Amino acid sequence: QAELGKPLRNCYTLPGFDFSYGLYIHRTDGGVPEAIGHWNTVKPRTTLVQKMPRDFITMNRGALKAGYTTAREFNLYYKANDIRRRDDEYSHFKRYPPKVPADLTYGVTARPCTPFFDLLQHKYKELWMEQQRALTAAQQVEKKKVTKNKVCETRTTFLRKHPLPAKEESFWHLPRLEKV
């Protein structure tokens, strides 16, 4: 039970100061003297010689050149000519790696840092405001040029320059009265 006025403890009591954590193995764990006196090294494993996968593309090409067309003939050709794919260790790229400078960094270069003082001083806002003011001033000058050079045209001046075509008088008659 919990002590009066105190919350219930939900943890374990730890062992004393003389307790050592971990697993003690009698044969191999001899402490510092054994570590200094013996060098237990790991023996390298002998890797099994792995058979490379078959190169079916080359074998199919050879079978077709030999004139085989059926599946049975192809199987017989595979058994007679067992061609395996080459290992990557013997590839040209591994034997002769490309010559690149020592200070070359692969990938996309990082963006240059944004100047912090320019952000604090609102320099980018000021530059944008300057651009907007210059653009507005240029538009106003252009507008004034257009209005100064252009004379306002009314309908009367337009009709004086471009008179309406004269109406041609047509003598239209009813079709039944044409022969009269």
Token pair of 171 as six digits: 């003598």
Token pair of 13 as six digits: 């009591």
- Looking at residues 163-167, what average pLDDT do you find? 85
pLDDT of residue 39: 67
Question: Minimal CA–CA distance to 68: which of 84, 79, 53, 54?
Answer: 79
- Looking at residues 69-98, what average pLDDT do you find? 81
Prediction pTM value? 0.26
Higher pLDDT, residue 130 or 163 = 130
Residues 37-65 have pLDDT tens digits of 766 667 777 765 667 788 899 999 999 99
* N- to C-terminal Cα separation, the chain: 135
Higher pLDDT, residue 116 or 35 = 116
**Residue showing tokens 């395996």:** 84
With 70 as the cut, is the pLDDT of residue 88 above it? no
Burial 66-88 (b: 16+ CB within 10 A, else e): eebeeeeebeebbeeeeeeeeee
Token pair of 58 as six digits: 């080359």
pLDDT of residue 53: 83
Residues 120-157 have pLDDT tens digits of 888 999 999 999 999 999 999 988 887 666 677 889 98
The DSSP letter of residue 171 is -
- Entry field: residues in the chain: 180
82: left (phi > 0), else alpha (psi -120 to 50), else beta? beta
pLDDT of residue 24: 67
Beta pairing partners, 84: 54
pLDDT of residue 133: 97
